[in-house]
Structure 1
Amino acid sequence: MNRLENKTAVVTGGASGIGFATAKRFIEEGAFVFIFGRRQDALDRAVAKLGPKARAVRGSVTEMGDLDRLFDAVKSERGTLDILFANAGTGDLAALGEITAEEYDRTFDSNVKGTLFTVQKGLPLMRAGGSIILTGSTTGVMGTPKFSVYSASKAAIRNFARSWALDLGGTGIRVNVLSPGPTRTELALEVVGEEGMNAIGASTPLGRMADPAETAAVAAFLASDDSSFMTGGEVFVDGGLAQV
């Protein structure tokens, strides 16, 4: 399929995990993709795998100057932007009573502030028919032990989509949340470990973790005109974890 033919996309956190899988899927469906991330070595490896329809810009979503450089690069080479996947994020395990101010700042700066300003700075390049996709999480609607700060940040993402859908009324630009469940990514394994991820995966109705490509397939749907009457919504790719 070439549902994204000639479209331009930005994927933050695009060098690994769900971001990389989504960039790959977007390119397979015809898009030109800019990936954004903090580690140059990971970006270089990702672009080498993604091929000539990918570009990499190094930076952090918490730094306004880095975001400016990202969208300046998009404007310079492509002129406009059709798909913005605000996917970068982070989180730490800490129970109530053990949460530090540093952990809170790190999580909310990346997940909430970073998402807000990624979208706000990319918005001037977008046109009618554009799609904004925000990465949420099952934790945004579930109680999750030792993960309250991350969970609260993802609940904020859900309300961003609801509110921004109203702010964008009349522009023809859509915004939706894509909420993965337990997915085998480097970040997830780093945070909760192999044993923890396997346990969470086993607790889903499907009895396993997701492959990042499975989430990327739904991101491609939200990016395409197949979802043209969807805005302000949330799509779970969670093996049923938060649904039953």
Structure 2
Amino acid sequence: MSKLNGKIALVTGGGSGIGLAIAQQLINEGARVVITGRRQAVLNDAIALLGDGAVGIVADVSQASSLEALYADVQGRFGRIDVLIANAGGGVHAPLGQITEAQIDEQFSTNVKGVVLTIQGALGLFVPGSSVVIVGSTASMDPGPTMSIYGGTKAAVRNMVRSWVAELKGTGIRINILSPGPTNTNSLRAAFGDKAEEGLAFLTAKSPLGRIGEPEEIASAVIFLASDAASYINGVELFADGGASQV
């Protein structure tokens, strides 16, 4: 039997990159999947790839009203959420002295506020045994130059989870963080702009495995944390980065 057979899963930011890979593996493991994102066209393309096992619903994780509408829709369709993957997020490269107020607001709004609203809004749909996996980043402990704000948002999420696992005591709900290292996605290249090849070469050289990760590898780690195979794992930050953050 598949690891998540019959489960209802929701993936924020599920239309592309790591989120899309996670949605595909959830379906492969037997789950019914809801993916969200801000752009209908992106969701449509993703659903075309994922097939009948997925539903796409437009939602903005930084807006409580948008999430309320999302969860009302999920309640009507499925009645519960067994697996929630809080994946939506993003980062902007900017060195100290060039960081704009808009960049700060954008990253904290999605990466911190968005995670809080996503999980808080889903509480009424969770059942005992539900699992939450937040897609973090190795930037929580090793942000590197120009990524101070992004790293700060991911470190904030790590500390929030330390509080939440205590608050959820007795509910049967687990919550963990899967923190990828550099992963082969279009968004990673876009973050480097016209210095993409130089940036990728730097990240490859830094890796003990001599390469960056693939979205499917990150998805496999997320599936593990979401499944009953990790039933006694709660409140951890698991790094999937080829060991780069450990050396």
Task: With the length of structure 1 as denominator, give the TM-score of the two structures.
Answer: 0.98
Residues 1:241 and 2:247 aligned together: no
In structure 2, the residue matched to 1:140 is 140
The one-letter code matched in structure 2 to 1:46 is A
1:49 and 1:143 map into 2 onto residues whose CA distance is: 33
> Could you say what secondary structure the match of 1:242 adopts?
helix
Question: Gaps (5+ residues) in structure 2?
Answer: none
**Percent of aligned pairs with the same residue?**
46
Residues 40-91 of structure 1 show CA distances to partners (whole Å, capped at 9, x for unaligned) of 1110010011111100011211111211121112111110110010000011
- Partners of 1:38 and 1:226 lie apart in 2 by 32
User: What is aligned with 1:169?
Assistant: 169
CA contact (8 A) 2:12 2:85 kept: yes
Q: Output the aligned Cα RMSD.
A: 1.0
Partner of 2:122: 122
* Aligned-partner Cα distance in 1 for 2:143–2:77: 44
Q: Deviations over 1:151-208 (max 9, x none)?
A: 0000011112111111100000000000000101121111022431232122110010
2:86: which partner in 1? Answer: 86
Q: Match of 1:221, SS?
A: helix
Q: How does 1:94-109 map onto structure 2 within 5 Å?
A: 94-109=94-109
Equivalenced residue count is 244
Provide runs of 4+ in structure 1 moved above 4 Å: none
Match of residue 9 from structure 1: 9
Local SS of the residue matching 1:52: helix
1:203 aligns with 2:195: no
Matching of residue 21 in structure 1 with residue 24 in structure 2: no
Q: TM-score w.r.t. structure 2 length?
A: 0.97
Residue pair 1:202, 1:209 contacting (<8 A) in 2 also: no
Aligned to 1:113: 113
Gaps of 5+ in 1: none
Tell me if the contact between 2:143 and 2:150 (Cα under 8 Å) persists in the aligned partners: no
Distance 1:77 1:243, change over 3 A: same
